[in-house]
A and B are shown apart, each in its own frame.
Chain A
Amino acid sequence: MTSAVPVIDVHELTKVFGKKTVVDKVSLSVNEGEIYGFLGPNGSGKTTTIRMLCGLLRPDGGKGTCLGHDVLSESELIKPHVGYMAQRFSLYGDLSVRENLEFMARMYGVADRRRAVNDTMERMNLAGFAATLAGNLSGGWKQRLALAACMIHSPRLLLLDEPTAGVDPTARRDFWDEVHKLAGQGITALISTHYMDEAERCHRLAYIAYGKLLTTGTAAEIVARENLATWEISGPGLYALIDGLRALPGVEQVVAFGVTLHVSGRDAAALEAHLPPFLAGRATAVRIASSLEEVFISLMRGTRP
């Protein structure tokens, strides 16, 4: 049941704080039932973009729709159908878990509130903490509560700002299973994250740096488009080689990966020519497929202001 109009369809959204353009003409299009990953380094404008989508911030430029309503003038119509999870814990620390959920359910006018709250606590394993003050929960459990709270009114669109930051691997897996299940029911999710494994679980991705949208597409498309060549170097005493490798023509990044080094660059020919002579007798190099992370780092380097 995909509709013709994308759930999020914005063009050239711009936000300026003082003299700084924090989000610079970002255009996004997210379809119904899609899980859309939003990536980018710290301070790149992810949170600001998400806030503009749901009416928490007024865009200074651009236009577009969210759930079919104008993001500039109809945020009152958008809000009831959006589940937004802020990056910073923003529920009431002096209310208990149950009270927070009930407050949110009330705010959205959820029918059969009691059941909605109980079901949500059950599903998110929060039942044991019902009476605990939200402020006294551990960081990861706060995240889970926030997630539960933003889904209590069965929104059609989830805007989740780093929902799994500080959450343990099991809970993270549960979370992604849940998101995929919801997507199957036609619920759309825009999720910002710094985790590459999470990026790979998204249907499509957008990568933003310094306020500018650098690339969008599936993980495979992005990797293919960037055309980055990567070699895995292995051998004894690798750390002594790092500085030398960085100085080689064509080398853009050298990253330690366990007991190996990953060397990448867009100029495959130059690397092909200079790597073997430099390593001769000291280590071996094997060409491998570039990972998303290497691609993103390369993208970010290319646009540093």
Chain B
Amino acid sequence: MTRLFSPSRFAAMVAKEFVQMRRDRLTFGMMVGIPLLQLILFGYAINSDPKHLPTAVLDNDRSVFSRTVLAGMKNSQYFEFVEEVEGEKRVEELLRLGRIQFVVTIPPDFGRDLVRGQRPVLLLEADATDPSATSNAAASMQQIVRGTMNRDLTGPLAPLQSREGPVELRFHPRYNPEAVTQFNIVPGLMGVVLTMTLVIITSLAITRERERGTMENLLITPVRPLEVLLGKLVPYILVGYIQMALIVVAARYLFEVPFLGSLPLLFAVSFLFIAANLGVGITFSTVAQNQLQAVQMSFFFFLPSILLSGFMFPFRGMPEWAQYLGSVLPLTHFLRIVRGVVLKGNGLADIAPHLWPIALFLVASLGIGVKRYRQTLD
């Protein structure tokens, strides 16, 4: 007599699954690790109200009033003055390199004009490539100026308080003046897509050989580890470039993202990034016992990449430890390169500081991969 459902068979099944789960430690670890990681990242690291944003000051007035405004900005915690600059040229440079988020410019005779009731212009410029990083700070500016000025404008100056404000505040979002989020997201997506797909695909490369038994046949041939590893990478470099080209086309024609920099430059430096991701994947594939583990390890890498790189959330909004972690990831640096080239028109010299961390990562990951690769079956 055969039944459709037998409780004893079912129980045996369950028991077997438990045994298998216990044997597969890594999968089990990942099942625990991924939610944990998510919890930590979302709970502590992600801050959509970034403070202490690096700000440069161009103070042409140096009066009591200019100092009051600056002190007020500082007290708001949104701005952190990192440099007092002398001229526009330096301001341009700092913005282009992404060293600062804001520049506050105080015109000459700011204090005098203020007292005369002539509403001097206070200029706040921002690197608005990532609008979410600047919007809160910029919005708070009006409040700050009003609050601090009113404290100083007392006695005979008190009437100045009552008008539309003693100071005319001007906000210049640079690079992405309309604060279009897509302009920031779409070029960034290039890095995210490359990271996700390339790492997963290559992490399966060697694992699949082992799982299908074809590793035995491969190992018996005179082939060398680096030949196997690189041989498996090359096709995917091509895949990476195809993905990039697709996104560039989409960015240009679907989202109308302005391309200020050189596309050939972008494609050239992307080689490093693509290779770094493949290096991670191939290293995973020398560690993973089966394909499921390989995919899980890829996600374990992908998650911090997307959360800590400044793709989803402003990099400067994260606590310091998260920023350190983020700086190790190739995606963090690649995002700065892509945004720099596409939105700011960065040249090679401007992006050079972001190239070597990727190169370092590539060498390290491939090195581990080659070292881990076993030329025997045991």
Contact = CB atoms under 8 A, between A and B. Distances in A.
Nearest to A94: B212
Interface string B195-239: 000000000000000001111110111110000000000000000
A148 to B, nearest CB: 13
Interface of A: 17, 51, 54-58, 75-76, 79-80, 82, 84, 86, 88-93, 104, 107-109, 149
Nearest to A54: B220
Contact of B217 (A57, A58, A82, A86): A86
Q: Which 7 A-B pairs have the closest CB atoms?
A: A107-B221, A90-B217, A90-B216, A84-B220, A90-B213, A86-B216, A79-B222
Nearest to A135: B212
A55 B376 contact: yes
Contacts of B223: 107
B214 A90 contact: yes
Given A57-B377, A57-B378, A58-B376, A104 B221 contact: yes
B235 to A, nearest CB: 14
Contacts of B376: 55-58
Nearest to B215: A90
Contacts of A55: 220, 375-376
Contact of B222 (A80, A91, A93): A80
A107 B214 CA distance: 14
Given A56-B216, A76-B222, A108-B221, 16 more contacts: A17-B378, A55-B220, A58-B376, A75-B375, A79-B221, A79-B222, A80-B222, A86-B213, A86-B217, A86-B220, A88-B213, A90-B214, A93-B212, A107-B222, A109-B222, A149-B217
Contacts of A17: 378
Nearest to A90: B217
13 contacts: A55-B375, A56-B376, A57-B377, A79-B220, A79-B221, A79-B222, A82-B220, A86-B220, A88-B216, A90-B212, A90-B214, A93-B212, A149-B217
Contacts of B216: 56, 86, 88, 90
A89 B221 contact: no
Nearest to A86: B216
Contacts of B222: 76, 79-80, 107-109
Contact of B377 (A56, A80, A82): A56
A139 to B, nearest CB: 15
Among A75, A90, A107, chain B packs the most CB atoms within 10 A around the CB of A90
A223 to B, nearest CB: 34
Nearest to B223: A107
Nearest to A58: B376
Contacts of A80: 222
Among A56, A57, A86, chain B packs the most CB atoms within 10 A around the CB of A56
Contacts of B214: 90-92
A149 B221 CA distance: 11
B64 to A, nearest CB: 78
A109 B227 CA distance: 14
B212 A56 contact: no
A13 B212 CA distance: 28
Contacts of A75: 375
Nearest to B374: A58
A149 B217 CA distance: 10
A104 B223 CA distance: 10
A116 to B, nearest CB: 15
Interface in B223-272: 223
